C-alpha cells in the first residue's frame, strides 16, 4: 500500500495542489507508523520488566538488544535537543502544575489505588520473600506521599471567590495575529473588534527615521522582500527607507504559510484584504488607537551602530507621539533608555518596564506598570509586592484559557495576547474553589482510597485462606505448574507434587489391572 501511494505521489500527473496534499499525507502516514512502532516497543519493554519481577528469566535476541540501545540513544538525543530548543519554556511546566495540581493529585491517587490489586496479588501469597516486603514498603510509602501531597500544593485558584479580582484586561499583542497578518492595520482592527483595551506593537526605526512596526530583525518572514529586493532580504529591516518598506506586501505570507491554521475560516473579502496589506507605521497605529479611544504599548528596538539614527531613535519615536492625536496618558512607554529625558519631554506618558525590579526602584523611575513574561508572574509577588504598591502587572503572552484563568486568580491587571478572540469567551476562571472545598475533596478521596486498598488486601487474603483450607482436593496439574514460579519450594508445593505423582501411579496400576 505504501509503495503504491509513493508511486502515485511521484509519477502521477495530478495538479500541483493535489500532489502536495497526497505527498504530505504519505509523510504523515509514515510518521504515524513510526510513532506507533516506538510506542508498541515501549509497552513491550514494560511487559519485559514485569516478566523479570515475576521471577522469570529474560532472554533477549541480538536484534532486541540492538533496538533497545537504538531507542535509548534516540530518546536521549531527543531529550537533549528538546531541552536546548525549549530551554526558555520549561517554566510553563511548573505553571501548568499550579493549575492542574489538584486534579493530577486525584488522578494519581486513583491510579495508585487501582494498582493495589496487583500489589496485593504479589504480596498476599503463601511464600514470603524480600521482594514482596520491598514491594509492599514502596507501595505504602507512595500512598502516604499521595495522601499528604496536598499540603504542598499551592494554586492561585484555590481561594475564596469573594477575593477574586476583576477580569484582567486583554491587550492585542501585534493586533490579532491569529486572525490577520501581525502588525498590520487589519490585524489591529480585528483586535479592536474583540474589545481589547489596548494595542501592543514592536517598533523599529527606518533608514530615514520613520518608526514602523516589525517584530523580526529582517523583513524576510512577513513581507515579500525576497521578490522586490532579493539581494537585501537578509539585511536588517532598519536599513530600508520608508518608501522601500511601504512598497512591500505584508499579507501574502499569511495566506501562504497559514501560521495558525485560520485561513480556511476567513471570508473571501478578508482574504482579498489580507493580500493587500502593507507594513504599518507607528503614526498609523496611534491614529487608529486615538480614533477608537484605546491605549498603545510598544517596544522600541534600537538600530545598529552604523545606522544614521542610532542616537536619535528615542527622539524619532517621541516626535511621532507628540504629533499624533492620541492623548499622552494613553501611551505606555517601555524602553528604559533615556527614561528621564522621555519623562521630561512628555510627562504624561505611562512609564512601563519589562524588567522585574524592586518596588522602591520602580517608584523612583516613575514606573506604574510592569510588563512581565508569564514565567516571572508569580502570584505571591503580585499580591504582596505590586498590588499593594499601586503597580499594575501586565503578563505576556497569554493565549490559552487555562493560563488566562491562572493569571486572573493571581491578580494581574492585564494580559497581552495573540488570541484575544479566544480569551473573549472566558467570562470566568476555568475553575476556582475555596481552601475548605479543596480540603473536603482531599480528605474524602484519601478516605475512599484507604477503604479500597484495605478492602483489596482483605479480599485477596480471604481467598488465600480459602485456598489453603481447601487442602489437596482443589489441586490440579495447572495449579501446580502455576505455583512452580515461586523461587523457593514450599511444603504445600511439595505436597501437591507428591499428590500428582501418587495420582499418576494409581492411574497406571488401574490400567494394568484392567
Average pLDDT over residues 355-370: 85
Average pLDDT over residues 295-314: 93
Each residue of 462-473: b (16+ CB within 10 Å) or e? eeeeeeeeeeee
As a whole number of angstroms, the distance between CA 324 and CA 289 comes to 10
pLDDT of residue 25: 62
Answer whether 240's CB lies under 8 Å from 232's CB. yes
pLDDT tier, 97 (very low <50, low <70, confident <90, very high otherwise) = confident
Of 302-311, 402-411, 486-495, the range with the lowest mean pLDDT is 486-495
- Which among 174, 119, 208, 251 has a CA at the least distance from the CA of 418? 174
Q: Who contacts 224 (Cβ-Cβ below 8 Å, separation ≥6)?
A: 248, 249, 252, 253
Looking at mean pLDDT, say which of 82-91, 257-266, 483-492 comes out highest: 257-266
As a whole number of angstroms, the distance between CA 69 and CA 49 comes to 16
* The pLDDT of residue 296 is above 50: yes
As a whole number of angstroms, the distance between CA 159 and CA 172 comes to 29
Average pLDDT over residues 178-196: 96
Q: Where are the domains of the chain?
A: 1-161+433-464, 170-424
* The pLDDT of residue 508 is above 50: no
Superfamily of domain 170-424: Phosphatidylinositol (PI) phosphodiesterase (3.20.20.190)
Looking at mean pLDDT, say which of 126-135, 223-232, 354-363, 459-468 comes out highest: 223-232
* Range 343-348 contact pairs with CB under 8 angstroms and sequence separation of 24 or more: 345/318, 346/318, 346/321, 346/322
Answer whether 201's CB lies under 8 Å from 174's CB. yes
As a whole number of angstroms, the distance between CA 52 and CA 343 comes to 72
* The pLDDT of residue 459 is above 80: yes
Average pLDDT over residues 104-131: 81
Average pLDDT over residues 336-344: 86
Residue-wise pLDDT for 5-15, tens only, equals 344 444 444 33
Each residue of 23-52: b (16+ CB within 10 Å) or e? eeebeeeeeeeeeeeeeeeeeeeeeeeeee
pLDDT of residue 487: 45
- Which among 258, 16, 254, 260 has a CA at the least distance from the CA of 24? 16
pLDDT of residue 73: 79
As a whole number of angstroms, the distance between CA 209 and CA 245 comes to 12
Model pTM score? 0.75
pLDDT tier, 93 (very low <50, low <70, confident <90, very high otherwise) = confident
Average pLDDT over residues 137-146: 91
pLDDT of residue 110: 92
In percent, how much of the chain has pLDDT > 70? 74
pLDDT of residue 475: 47
pLDDT of residue 279: 97
* The pLDDT of residue 340 is above 60: yes
Amino acid at each position: 500500500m505504501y509503495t503504491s501511494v509513493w508511486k502515485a505521489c511521484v509519477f502521477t500527473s495530478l495538479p500541483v495542489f493535489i500532489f502536495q496534499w497526497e505527498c504530505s499525507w504519505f509523510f504523515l502516514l509514515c510518521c504515524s507508523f513510526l510513532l506507533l512502532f516506538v510506542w508498541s516497543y515501549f509497552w513491550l519493554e514494560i511487559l519485559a520488566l514485569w516478566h523479570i519481577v515475576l521471577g522469570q528469566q529474560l532472554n533477549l535476541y541480538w536484534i532486541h538488544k540492538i533496538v533497545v540501545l537504538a531507542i535509548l540513544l534516540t530518546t536521549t538525543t531527543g531529550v537533549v535537543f528538546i531541552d536546548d530548543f525549549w530551554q526558555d519554556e520549561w517554566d510553563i511546566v511548573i505553571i501548568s502544575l499550579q493549575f492542574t495540581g489538584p486534579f493530577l493529585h486525584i488522578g494519581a491517587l486513583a491510579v495508585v489505588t487501582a494498582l493495589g490489586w496487583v500489589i496485593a496479588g504479589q504480596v498476599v501469597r503463601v511464600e514470603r520473600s524480600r521482594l514482596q516486603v520491598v514491594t509492599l514498603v514502596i507501595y505504602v510509602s507512595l500512598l502516604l506521599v499521595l495522601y499528604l501531597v496536598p499540603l504542598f500544593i499551592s494554586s492561585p485558584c484555590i481561594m475564596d471567590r469573594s477575593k477574586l479580582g476583576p477580569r484582567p484586561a486583554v491587550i492585542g499583542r501585534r493586533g490579532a495575529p491569529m486572525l490577520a497578518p501581525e502588525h498590520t492595520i487589519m490585524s489591529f482592527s480585528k483586535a479592536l473588534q474583540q474589545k481589547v483595551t489596548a494595542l501592543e506593537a514592536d517598533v523599529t526605526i527606518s533608514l530615514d527615521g520613520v518608526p514602523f512596526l516589525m517584530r523580526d530583525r529582517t523583513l524576510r518572514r512577513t513581507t515579500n522582500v525576497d521578490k522586490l529586493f532579493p539581494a537585501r532580504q537578509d539585511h536588517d529591516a532598519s536599513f530600508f527607507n520608508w518608501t522601500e518598506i511601504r512598497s512591500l506586501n505584508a499579507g501574502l505570507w499569511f495566506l501562504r504559510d497559514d501560521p495558525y491554521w485560520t485561513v480556511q475560516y476567513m471570508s473571501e473579502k478578508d482574504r482579498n484584504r489580507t493580500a493587500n496589506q502593507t507594513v504599518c507605521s507607528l503614526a498609523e497605529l496611534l491614529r487608529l488607537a486615538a480614533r477608537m479611544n484605546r491605549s498603545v504599548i510598544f517596544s522600541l528596538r534600537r538600530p545598529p551602530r552604523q545606522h544614521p539614527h542610532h542616537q536619535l531613535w528615542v527622539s524619532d519615536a517621541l516626535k511621532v507621539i507628540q504629533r499624533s492625536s492620541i492623548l499622552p496618558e494613553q501611551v505606555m512607554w517601555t524602553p528604559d533608555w533615556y527614561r528621564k529625558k522621555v519623562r521630561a519631554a512628555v510627562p504624561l506618558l505611562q512609564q512601563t518596564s519589562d524588567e522585574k525590579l524592586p518596588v522602591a526602584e520602580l517608584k523612583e523611575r516613575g514606573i506604574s506598570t510592569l510588563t512581565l513574561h508569564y514565567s516571572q508572574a508569580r502570584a505571591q509577588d503580585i499580591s504582596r509586592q505590586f498590588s499593594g504598591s499601586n503597580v499594575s502587572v501586565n503578563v505576556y503572552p497569554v493565549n490559552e484559557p487555562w493560563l488566562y484563568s491562572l493569571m486572573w486568580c493571581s491578580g494581574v491587571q492585564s494580559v497581552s495576547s495573540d488570541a484575544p478572540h479566544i480569551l473573549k469567551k472566558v467570562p470566568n476562571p476555568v475553575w476556582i474553589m475555596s481552601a475548605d472545598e479543596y480540603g473536603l475533596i482531599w480528605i474524602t478521596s484519601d478516605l475512599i482510597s484507604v477503604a479500597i486498598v484495605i478492602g483489596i488486601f482483605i479480599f485477596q487474603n480471604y481467598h488465600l485462606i480459602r485456598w489453603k483450607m481447601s487442602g489437596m482436593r482443589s489441586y490440579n496439574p495447572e495449579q501446580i505448574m502455576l505455583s512452580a514460579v515461586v523461587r523457593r519450594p514450599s511444603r504445600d508445593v511439595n505436597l501437591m507434587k507428591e499428590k500428582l505423582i501418587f495420582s499418576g501411579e494409581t492411574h497406571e496400576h488401574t490400567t494394568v489391572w484392567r
